[in-house]
Amino acid sequence: MTLYIAGCTALGAGLGFGYQRLVGCRSGVCLITSNRWVATFYGAVMGYLLAR
């Protein structure tokens, strides 16, 4: 179970980072996607929450 949660968290972080790189925010005022660290962290949190 722990490995499953860790995998989902890592997958969410990867998807958050990928979303920021591919879609991103051109104007820089988007709260989540303007910074790659925030997008990665948000994706990791979402992956963790969905795994539980």
Supply the range of the domain harboring residue 12. Answer: 2-51
Mention every residue, 6+ apart, whose C-beta is less than 8 A from residue 25: 33, 34
Rg (CA), the chain: 12
Residue 7, pLDDT score: 97
Considering the chain, what percentage of its residues have pLDDT values greater than 90?
71
Q: How many domains, the chain?
A: 1
pTM: 0.88
| d(C-alpha 26, C-alpha 48), whole Å | 28
Task: Kindly indicate the confidence band of residue 17, based on its pLDDT and cuts at 50, 70 and 90.
Answer: very high
